[in-house]
Amino acid sequence: MRMNRIQFQPGLSMPEFFERYGTEGQCQEALQAARWPRGFVCPKCGGAARSRFVRGGLPYWQCGACVHQTSLISGTVFEASKLPLSRWFLAMQLLTQSKNNVSALELKRQLGVSYRSAWLLKHKIMQAMRLAEDGRELDGRIEIDDAYLGGQFSGKAGRGSENKVAFVAAVQTTDDCRPLYVCLSQQPPTLQAMAAFAASHIAPTATVVTDGLWCFAADTLVGAEHERVVTGGGKASEPHRVSRRPIGLSQTGVV
Ligand SMILES: [Zn+2]
């Protein structure tokens, strides 16, 4: 099989995962380091900790200024959950390392929790990922294209299909076209929708590469430099794709 650098890129293997996050203590340390890399900061007043104690197996801090007590998980997606952090971390590993969708039923089996817990875990993690992505702004070299999801129904394929969900994908790449970040937006490929997408996710200093679809002219509204590559479809596009090495969406692992 021909080696594809994108598909063969390294991830976090399960043995490595359990080495780093296999115990509750390791997960708590990782979360604490991510929340407060320079030491505890009171979420209420910004003060430093006066004391630290453990209650119900969870570390708590008491603020030295306002005496507010904060647990490690308060104000996070883990708040109010009865599941240990190690189960949450394992769920995040399973959901983010799989190229395909992991069902709540599969998560239930892998985590050894009830179906309801697995369903809630999955949706909370996916919502947190979506919120994290919402504020992302791409810069540098960006490839944008429209794509269509849904293959169960017959009818027209791709652009203009009445049976598929349209979305726009923007991929920030390195100068030699390796993918770095992706922004996805479920929206029709219209000038108005693209203008809103570009205003939210494309930096004015970016260089945008698109095909010739007219709606992509909207990205110039934010001042980004714009390069259009009109390749045509099928075999006609091959010479362009080989010479420019653009990223196919399937190579990003997004679809
Ligand atoms: Zn405080």
Ligand 1 centre distance from Cα of residue 133 (Å): 29
Q: What percent of the chain has pLDDT over 70?
A: 75
Ligand 1 centre distance from Cα of residue 48 (Å): 7
Flag whether pLDDT at 171 surpasses 80: yes
Ligand 1 centre distance from Cα of residue 63 (Å): 5
Q: What percent of the chain has pLDDT over 90?
A: 43
pLDDT of residue 118: 96
Other beta carbons within 10 angstroms of residue 85's beta carbon come to 24
- At 232, is the pLDDT very low, low, confident or very high (cuts 50, 70, 90)? low
- At 248, is the pLDDT very low, low, confident or very high (cuts 50, 70, 90)? very low
Ligand 1 centre distance from Cα of residue 127 (Å): 28
Cα gap 95→106, rounded to integer Å: 10
Ligand 1 centre distance from Cα of residue 187 (Å): 42
DSSP state of 65: T
Ligand 1 centre distance from Cα of residue 75 (Å): 14
* Mean pLDDT across 130-148: 86
Ligand 1 centre distance from Cα of residue 142 (Å): 42
Ligand 1 centre distance from Cα of residue 77 (Å): 21
Q: Pick the residue with more confidence: 60 or 133? A: 60
- At 246, is the pLDDT very low, low, confident or very high (cuts 50, 70, 90)? very low
pTM: 0.70
For 102, residues 6+ apart whose C-beta sits below 8 A from its C-beta are: 94, 95, 122
Asked whether the beta carbons of 83 and 38 are under 8 A apart, the reply is: no
Ligand 1 centre distance from Cα of residue 89 (Å): 28
- At 224, is the pLDDT very low, low, confident or very high (cuts 50, 70, 90)? low
Ligand 1 centre distance from Cα of residue 72 (Å): 15
Ligand 1 centre distance from Cα of residue 144 (Å): 45
- At 242, is the pLDDT very low, low, confident or very high (cuts 50, 70, 90)? very low
Flag whether pLDDT at 249 surpasses 50: no
Q: Burial of 53 by CB count in 10 Å (0-12 exposed, 13-18 middle, 19+ buried)?
A: exposed
